Amino acid sequence: MPLSVNSRSKVSGWSRYKFSEEFIYLGGKKHIQPNQKSIFFNSYIRNIISRKGCFYCKFKGYERNSDITLGDFLGVWSIMPDMDDDKGTSIVMIHTLAGQRAIKDILDRIVIKPVSLEEVSKENRAVVHSHKMEKSIKSIVMSLLIKAYIFIKVIKHS
């Protein structure tokens, strides 16, 4: 059993979705796996293990109930290659005057460049759209997981 799991490790980089899963075990032993080979990652991006709220999220688009919104700037490598350091670039959406003041207070410690929401959402649709539910795949996977869970409980209590 791992002591820690980082499902978005930057050990292999970050740009162009090349992050990895990193498992750390007792004694410091590490196992690193590219996200393309990860069951968890592939289930996540196919929305098989997403929560119901992800399919009907009311916090999409530009209108938010917060001062700022932070997120991953997926696709920065295509839109602003000079901002892609292979360590991850963030989207910062400012919604209020308080948000503007907060960002202004840290401008000497960050690099910030304006970009339109349309550009950001090209490769990062989750900024403006909820996930699409693939009901058939999700229901099959969830059914199998429930059966496996019940099977394990029966075996443990036999």
Distance from C-alpha of 131 to C-alpha of 7, rounded to nearest angstrom: 20
Q: Average pLDDT, stretch 129-155?
A: 76
- Is pLDDT of 135 > 70? no
Residue 105 is assigned to a structural domain of this protein = yes
Residues 73 and 123 both lie in one domain: yes
Residues 37 and 72 both lie in one domain: no
Residue 23 is assigned to a structural domain of this protein = yes
Residue 149 is assigned to a structural domain of this protein = no
Residue 61 is assigned to a structural domain of this protein = no
- Find how far residue 113's CA is from the centre of its chain: 22
Token pair of 55, please? 């399919």
Question: What are the pLDDT digits (tens) for 86-104?
Answer: 988 999 989 999 999 999 9
Residue 52 is assigned to a structural domain of this protein = no
Residue 112 is assigned to a structural domain of this protein = yes
Q: What's the domain count of the chain?
A: 2
Query: What confidence score (pLDDT) does residue 104 get?
Result: 95
Residue 108 is assigned to a structural domain of this protein = yes
Residues 82 and 120 both lie in one domain: yes
Instruction: Tell me the pairing of strands 68-72 and 30-34.
Output: unpaired
Per the structure, the complete domain to which residue 90 belongs is given by 68-127
Q: Average pLDDT, stretch 59-64?
A: 75
Residue 116 is assigned to a structural domain of this protein = yes
Residues 39 and 74 both lie in one domain: no
Residues 83 and 40 both lie in one domain: no
Range list of β-strands (E), the chain: 4-9, 20-24, 30-34, 68-72, 90-94
Look up tokens 């196992």; give the residue. 31
Instruction: Count Cβ neighbours within 10 Å for each residue of 26-45 and write b for 16 or more, e otherwise.
Output: eeeeeeebebeebeebeeee
The CA distances from residue 118 to 68, 128, 149, in Å, are 18, 9, 43
Look up tokens 């196919």; give the residue. 46
